[in-house]
Amino acid sequence: MPKKSIKGYSFLIRPFQMVLDLAILCLVINFFIGKMPHQHFYLYIISAWLLSSIIIGFYVVYRFTSAVNIFILLFKQFGGLFIAIFAFYGIVGVRLLSVSQTILLVITVLSIVGFFKFGVFFSLKQYRRYFGGNKRRIVVFGSSIKAKELINFFNSKPDMGYHIQKVFSSNITKGIDYLKENEIDELYCSMEEVTDIQINEIVNFCDFSEIVLKFIPNESKLPVTDLHTDYYHYLPVVSIPKMPLHLPQNIALKRLVDIVLSIFVIIFILTWLTPLMYVLIKLESKGPLFYKHKRNGINYGEFDCYKFRSLKKNTDESRLHVSKEDERVTKIGRFLRRSSIDEIPQFFNVLIGDMSVVGPRPHIPRYTNAYAKKIDKYEFVFRHSVRPGITGLSQIKGFRGEVKSDTDIVNRIKFDVFYIQNWSLAQDINIIFSTVILLFKGQDKAY
């Protein structure tokens, strides 16, 4: 099924409101000040308005947003505009208006902007209620008390425009098939009623099909990770939040660094290391130079991960991890694994976009489901929302290689989630340098 194309004109509402607000802002300023010696004031105040709106989320208004929240946004924008104007007075050393006139200007702007903002908000409600437009086609997976309350909420609020297409209370597999055969905008999934395998498939499919995925949390607890929580009246609904690694500018920056580093390693290291490894590996055992194995990547998608072969050919691959005295490992393979040189071919995976240099380590698919049973589902979904890495925070903290107990995998996931929530380029650089140092020092689990 191909990705959905944009239909209707809903996506134009926010840009229209933004342009309208900026026009109001400029017209009111022109009315109060007229021609002025500081013509760049317009550019300054427009920039300040846009910056303030981004910081407070002034244009992030959803169909489930309450009127009270819109009032709060207006007052925050009021404060931002007020501060920006007086900051300008301080910068240029000239007061264009008196304090009372400035306050009146700001109140006028926010009153007119607020009038149109509420006008659009309530007009859309009536349009949805009486004409059935601006609708969101939704599917619900689950029959829990919270799921039923959410369904009743949607049915009782036609002005919000949520049209329930189907509810799958037991046969979730049939529900997944329904998603594949019909155009759906949003999926609400009760986390306690889907299996680990199903949640993997749901997350992967919703990302590919651009379906908004939200989770109905367990009745007994809210998710332990820092997921984004919206309240539909009093009902909590959670979704993966826009963390630093989910923002377009950070994704582009991280991808640029990945491409530069991978090209550097491929040209200046792999060009001479590969023929050397070919000779050393072939001298000891028959078999291919590279070992290719399936791994779970972003949103549970599978890809072929490359390594220099370190095990004997035709060995038992059903065993979870390589152990300390594993007879499958060749002599040269033991050196490659201890030094992590066997991982260097993964820079090809980085170059083609399957992996990143730094990120959570990718798991083998059949172990992903086993680990998911031991980890809070919310944390596990969160971990797979970014590209996996050659190295990562959990690796430099000692949680790499063989999983000897549940504590190992739990701590690995917690470090991965912390990395995603607190990503910065400086942190990536620190992890890379720490990894290089560990290559020389060695790690206990590097075998």
401 in the Ramachandran plot: left (φ > 0), alpha (ψ -120 to 50) or beta? Answer: left
Burial 320-356 (b: 16+ CB within 10 A, else e): eebeeebebbbebbeebbeebbbbbbbbbbbbeebbb
Per the domain annotation, does 3 fall within a domain?
no
Q: Which of the four pLDDT bands, split at 50, 70 and 90, describes residue 297?
A: confident
Pick the last residue of a domain from 241, 267, 289.
Answer: 241
Over residues 355-379, mean pLDDT: 74
Q: Give the CB-side neighbour count of residue 327, counting CA atoms within 13 A.
A: 3
Asked if 429 and 441 count as a contact pair (C-beta separation under 8 A), the reply is no
**Which DSSP letter does residue 311 get?**
B
Pick the last residue of a domain from 208, 225, 241.
Answer: 241
Per the domain annotation, does 123 fall within a domain?
yes
> Is pLDDT above 60 for 378?
no
Looking at the structure, tell me whether residues 43 and 155 fall in a common domain.
no
Q: Which of the four pLDDT bands, split at 50, 70 and 90, describes residue 229?
A: confident
> Is pLDDT above 70 for 262?
yes
| Domain limits for position 18 | 10-131
Stated pTM of the model = 0.61
Please work out, in degrees rounded to the nearest 5, the angle formed at the alpha carbon of residue 226 by the alpha carbons of 11 and 212.
30
pLDDT at 207 (0 to 100)? 73
Lookup: tokens for 292: 């290719």
Q: Considering all CA atoms of the chain, what is the largest pairwise distance in Å, rounded to the nearest integer?
A: 86
Looking at the structure, tell me whether residues 27 and 153 fall in a common domain.
no
Looking at the structure, tell me whether residues 372 and 333 fall in a common domain.
yes
> Is pLDDT above 60 for 163?
yes
Looking at the structure, tell me whether residues 106 and 144 fall in a common domain.
no
Burial 198-236 (b: 16+ CB within 10 A, else e): bbbbbbbbbbebebebbbbbbeeeebebebeeeebeebe
Looking at the structure, tell me whether residues 234 and 258 fall in a common domain.
no
CA distances from 428 to 26, 160, 368, 389, 420 (A): 43, 42, 25, 11, 11
CATH (domain of 143): 3.40.50.2300
Q: What is the helix (H) or strand (E) element at residue 390, kind and residue range?
A: strand 389-391
- For the chain, the domain total comes to 3
Looking at the structure, tell me whether residues 62 and 191 fall in a common domain.
no
Average pLDDT over all residues of the chain: 83
Query: Which string of DSSP letters, residue by residue, matches 319-335?
Result: SSS--TT-TTB-HHHHH
Pick the last residue of a domain from 241, 276, 295.
Answer: 241
Q: Which of the four pLDDT bands, split at 50, 70 and 90, describes residue 264?
A: very high
pLDDT digits (tens, 9 = 90+) for 379-437: 666 677 789 999 999 888 887 666 666 677 778 888 888 898 889 999 999 999 999 88
For helices 13-33 and 41-56, the axis angle rounded to 10 degrees is 140
**Higher model confidence: residue 221 or residue 366?**
366
Looking at the structure, tell me whether residues 334 and 278 fall in a common domain.
yes
pLDDT at 2 (0 to 100)? 40
pLDDT at 287 (0 to 100)? 84
> Is pLDDT above 60 for 447?
no
Looking at the structure, tell me whether residues 90 and 155 fall in a common domain.
no
Q: Which of the four pLDDT bands, split at 50, 70 and 90, describes residue 5?
A: very low
What span, in angstroms and rounded, lies between the C-alpha atoms of 244 and 420? 7
Per the domain annotation, does 264 fall within a domain?
yes
Looking at the structure, tell me whether residues 90 and 216 fall in a common domain.
no
What span, in angstroms and rounded, lies between the C-alpha atoms of 445 and 447? 6
**Higher model confidence: residue 276 or residue 286?**
276
Looking at the structure, tell me whether residues 123 and 83 fall in a common domain.
yes
Going by their DSSP bridges, the two strands 235-239 and 290-296 should be labelled as: unpaired
